Amino acid sequence: MPDFDYSRLDPAFAKLSKPARRALINAGVLTLKDLAQHTQAEVAGLHGIGPSAFPILEAALQSAGLKFRAK
C-alpha cells in the first residue's frame, strides 16, 4: 500500500494521528475553514477521529479565530 498523501492538509493538523488526518482528507476537510463548516458531532463521526483529536482541533480553530459550526 503506497504512503498516503498528506501534503494537501493544512499544517495546523500535523499533531493529529495519521488515522485522524486521513479521516479529514477523506471527508474533504483540508483547511481550518473547512473544519469550521462542520459540527463536532459530524467530525466525531468520521472513522479515524477519536477523543484525543478534539483538543488539537479546537486549539487549531481557536488560534485561527474559528470554531466548530453550531448545530
Assessment of whether the complete model's pTM goes beyond 0.85: yes
Residue 71 has pLDDT above 90, yes or no: no
Residue 1 has pLDDT above 80, yes or no: no
CA trace torsion 71, 15, 2, 33 (10° rounding): 40
Model confidence over 33-64: pLDDT tens digits? 999 999 999 999 999 999 999 999 999 999 99
| Contact assessment for residue 32 and residue 61, using Cβ atoms and an 8 Å cutoff | yes
